Amino acid sequence: MKRKKKNIIKADYQAKNLKNPFYRSPKKKKKGSLRILLFLIPIFLIALTYLFFSAPFFKINKMEITGLERIEKQEINNIFEEQKNNKKVLFLKESNFFVFDKKAFEDRLINEYNFSKIKVRKKIPNTISIVISERPYAFIFQQGTSFYFASADAYIIKDEAVSEESKKKYFILENRSQIVKVAENGKISIKSDYLDFIFALYSQLLKYPELRPERLIIEQELNSVLVEFNEGPLVYFNSQKDPIIQVDDLALVKKEKIGDNFNSTKYIDLRYGNMIYIN
């Protein structure tokens, strides 16, 4: 007998869905979203720039000053207003809170008035705060025919002119030396120990009412300080020796040796210790 052939049914894989249900194909980037983002970024930057550099909210309109005693606040305000109108970056003026140059403002004020200390701070959103320490007057510095107030640390102070009344209040230190100069920052090129001697000398002279000096003089000769009296001789002091002893010697010489001839005496030289020269 012949066997019947079985009909083999082949699997049709083409009709099957063989995709993995757990596999996710990557999503295509949306070009439209990227274009929108690229369009919005410049707009955002422009808006941010306007907010910080052009908006009235950050325009400086207030200045606070503390520490002034001699100088009028209006003088500082005039310099402040002048700087606010400076163009710092392209079209931007320093009236903008972020553009205003604190360091330049501090330098300008120090150069103008020789303050001992100045601190400029910005207060968000529109205020500039200034804390100032003025140098107190210590004496009057004479250079030729010009008179200036000066501080104890040897800085010229030009915030006001020296009046005749001021010359009675502060002692005059006249510079007759070619070595001592005034620098651009107002600093007098005088040694601190030399200036200390001058202060001590003047202080000791005040203890003797009959020894009122008209001026003290920086002499060309090293280690010498001259004192000129209204009516009396020119007196030479040694800046390397004790000013108290030298003034006491002067008072003793005036009382016991010169007496009533003090006004007609030309000079007294106290620079050589026990050897006192009188002419």
Do 94 and 160 meet the contact criterion of CB atoms below 8 Å apart?
no
Domain ranges in the chain? 56-133, 139-278
Q: With 60 as the cut, is the pLDDT of residue 8 above it?
A: no
What are the respective helix, strand and coil percentages of the chain, to the nearest 5? Answer: 35, 25, 40
208 contacts: CB under 8 Å, gap ≥ 6: 247, 251
Does domain 139-278 fall under CATH 2.30.110.10? My reply is no
State the average pLDDT for the chain: 86
Kindly report, residue by residue over 70-93, the tens digit of the pLDDT: 999 999 999 999 999 998 766 788
Q: What is the pLDDT of residue 235?
A: 97
Kindly report, residue by residue over 112-154, the tens digit of the pLDDT: 888 999 999 999 999 999 999 999 999 999 999 999 999 999 9
Q: What is the pLDDT of residue 260?
A: 86
Q: With 70 as the cut, is the pLDDT of residue 31 above it?
A: no
Confidence of residue 276 (pLDDT cuts 50, 70, 90): very high
Q: What is the pLDDT of residue 16?
A: 56
Q: What is the pLDDT of residue 278?
A: 94
Phi-psi region of 109 (alpha: psi -120 to 50; beta: other; left: phi over 0): alpha
Kindly give the interhelix angle for 102-113 and 73-84, rounded to the nearest 10 degrees.
140
Question: 56-133 — its CATH code?
Answer: 3.10.20
Q: What is the pLDDT of residue 239?
A: 96
218: three-class secondary structure by DSSP: strand
Kindly report, residue by residue over 93-107, the tens digit of the pLDDT: 889 888 899 999 999
